[in-house]
Amino acid sequence: MIGFSLLAQDGAARRGQITTAHGTIETPAFMPVGTAATVKAMRPEEVAATGADIILANTYHLMLRPGAERIAALGGLHRFMNWPKSILTDSGGYQVMSLAQLREIGEEGVVFRSHLDGTRMTLTPELSIEIQRLLGADITMAFDECTPFPATEEEARRSMELSMRWAARSKDAFKSRDGAGLFGIVQGGVFPALRQQSAEALIAIGFDGYAVGGLAVGEGQDVMFQVLDETLPALPQDRPRYLMGVGKPADLVGAVARGIDMFDCVLPTRSGRTAQAFTRRGTVNLRNARHAEDPRPLDESCDCPACTQYCRAYLHHLVKANEILGSMLLTQHNLRYYGGLMRDLRAAIADGGLADFAAGFAEAQARDDIPALQDRDG
């Protein structure tokens, strides 16, 4: 069982704390993605320095390589990757649907071929939960089918109902232990009635937290926010809420305002490896020639090494020369930016000033008063 306490509210927005066997998670929280037991281009202590209290690891990838049993024999995922704080593991369902080959989805689970070597494998709710137990996850995710987008209402219904049956089996398979919890996942596509049915089914089963899945898959921000507006009031106030796979800074601010407590996304790390940097005035593309002779810091308000020890011209040079250091510095910067955004959101909620913060954030992101910060890449 994990703990969750609400410390402050501002409208629907919540400031809280989640307590696991490996520490306290200040919420709203962003979880850097450590797919293969590492946050790419970052050492664990550097990830912690960005403000992260928890990271996400990937069940599907770790079951394929190096294997959950091997990780368990070596002391569990925390020791294996030298991360002393909390870990959330996803169920593997999304990766099976998006990466694996020749999928066959049935009531029992999913039969698929590994994207690495074509090995035929099966993943069921029970096996997903067991793998996550072997990894030593602080927060385990129920096994679900990620509803494709677009989908008809009937397709979304069948997918959601299957996920709810799998959720019940996940709960039965989960072995409760101190400081560890199990989250259910709300599905239902973009259809409010299906989302409501999914939420009701999960509450009846009973989980330590509730995730909203199946969003940020192409539906657009307006639709995503509409789904959250229609779904979150149905979820318990005394449990954490997790929006999966989101996202852009503006998505985070809008979702926090609607009552989301946790996020994960590959965007800040992937962007760091593709020369994109998030700043308080928007997104900067370090590949652009305009930065080649720019002696200024990337963001003068940031205290990360990329901003305090190097200039834009040098970062541009690293990117153009395909030097690994460029990916390392920009990844660290982006995670520091996301960590700072979460910290600012927590402070705004505690002070009752979230609406003013959100308005100022939107205005700052749209500024064009500094020429080298006019890039809007995604």
CA distance 372 to 292: 11
Q: What share of the chain is helix, strand, coil (3-state, %, to 5)?
A: 45, 20, 35
157-to-59, 101, 137, 196 alpha-carbon distances in Å: 26, 24, 30, 12
Catalytic annotation present for 264:
yes
For residues 214 and 149, is the Cβ–Cβ distance under 8 A? yes
106-to-111, 142, 187, 272 alpha-carbon distances in Å: 8, 17, 17, 38
Could you please report the per-residue DSSP string of 108-159?
A: S-EEEE-TTT--EEEE-HHHHHHHHHHHT-SEEE-------SS--HHHHHHH
Token pair, residue 228, equals 């959250």
With a CB cutoff of 8 Å and minimum separation 6, the contacts of 359 are none
For residues 131 and 95, is the Cβ–Cβ distance under 8 A? no
CA distance 283 to 121: 41
Catalytic residue among 261, 264, 294, 375: 264
Catalytic annotation present for 351:
no
Q: In angstroms, what is the C-alpha Rg of the chain?
A: 20
Catalytic residue among 10, 53, 90, 138: 90
- Evaluated on CA atoms 314, 320, 325, 329, the torsion sign reads positive
Longest CA–CA span in the chain (Å) reads 60
Query: How many Cβ atoms sit within 10 Å of the Cβ of residue 378?
Result: 9
For residues 199 and 183, is the Cβ–Cβ distance under 8 A? no
What are the residue numbers of the active site? 90, 264
